């Protein structure tokens, strides 16, 4: 069976669907449904079972046998709120939990594909999988970086597959529960629907209004990268997962406006609380990903946003 932690979340639920579309009929979701609103992400998925994240970890730590053998673990679960500053909570959820799953997988020889983050780079201008360029701006980024460091130390040449995927700015279906942490494509779409204007930040860090640049990557492409590594169990390492092409927030807003055929952009003051803790530029260096053999193609914002809004529209049809 395949385990997807965070399987009721944004990327996790899309990954479960991608596995199901491939014919995987023994997928188990691990998550925390204290926020019950996330159930909508998995209500129509043909999963084999659901386990609470704490119950699952207890069984993993004790190496208690499951009813069926685990063939892979996709560890997507984490606290992903970049504005969360409770470091103790963040490290327990994002670092310690990941460590325990790692050691279980190493003991059992189970492929372990986990979600890292481009937040490890912080304000860097180079986004290469190298300690020289890893300078997180918040404790979320630090929690992800510290686990990557741990993997480099204890699983530099693992006997079984260990893969960390540094996700850049992912957007797509099933992110509605993330609130303020949902993608700008999600927020711009809602803003256009509500009052006809997408609200973007004014310029900062030398960038003009709305021209801050991010590597926006569509969730289906992220899932395809995960599945490529599942198909290639001999490949391990830490890899960037983005398009390799930075685009502006204006590009995203204009793609949403074009899809609706109406709307405009309004620029609002840059928030004081984000100054000094905000990535104004991200762009994945794909050299190592391509060197691994991964040939997944990434769609640009103009295509990805259209695909996203087409899906949202289909789901809203009676």
Cβ neighbours of residue 143 closer than 8 Å, sequence gap 6 or more: 78, 79, 87, 90, 91, 93, 94, 95
Q: Is the separation of the CB atoms in 11 and 222 below 8 Å?
A: yes
CA pair distance 134, 132, nearest whole angstrom: 6
Strand partners, 28: 3, 49
Q: Which residues are catalytic?
A: 140, 178
């Amino acid at each position: 069976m395949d385990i997807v932690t965070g399987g009721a979340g944004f990327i996790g639920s899309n990954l479960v669907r991608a596995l199901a579309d491939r014919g995987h009929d023994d997928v188990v979701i691990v998550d925390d449904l204290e926020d019950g609103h996330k159930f909508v992400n998995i209500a129509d998925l043909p999963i084999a079972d659901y386990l609470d994240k704490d119950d699952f970890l207890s069984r993993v730590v004790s190496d208690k046998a499951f009813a069926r053998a685990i063939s892979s673990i996709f560890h997507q679960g984490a606290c992903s709120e970049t504005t969360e500053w409770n470091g103790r909570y963040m490290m327990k959820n994002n670092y310690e939990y990941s460590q325990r799953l790692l050691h279980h997988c190493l003991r059992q020889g189970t492929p372990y594909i986990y979600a890292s983050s481009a937040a490890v780079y912080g304000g860097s201008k180079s986004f290469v999988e190298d300690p020289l360029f890893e300078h997180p701006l918040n404790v979320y980024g630090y929690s992800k970086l510290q686990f990557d460091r741990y993997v480099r130390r204890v699983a530099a040449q693992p006997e079984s597959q260990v893969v960390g995927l540094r996700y850049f700015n992912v957007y797509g279906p099933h992110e509605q529960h993330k609130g303020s942490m949902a993608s700008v494509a999600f927020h711009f779409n809602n803003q256009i629907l509500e009052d006809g204007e997408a609200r973007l930040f004014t310029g900062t860090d030398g960038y003009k209004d709305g021209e801050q640049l991010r590597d926006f990557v569509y969730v289906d492409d992220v899932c395809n990268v995960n599945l490529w590594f599942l198909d290639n169990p001999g490949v391990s390492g830490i890899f960037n997962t983005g398009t390799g092409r930075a685009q502006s927030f204006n590009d995203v807003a204009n793609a949403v406006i074009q899809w609706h055929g109406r709307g405009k952009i309004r620029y609002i003051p840059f928030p004081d609380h984000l100054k000094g803790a905000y990535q104004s530029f991200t762009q994945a260096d794909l050299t190592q990903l391509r060197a691994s053999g991964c040939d997944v193609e990434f769609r640009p914002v103009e295509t990805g946003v259209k695909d996203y809004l087409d899906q949202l529209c289909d789901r809203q049809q009676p």
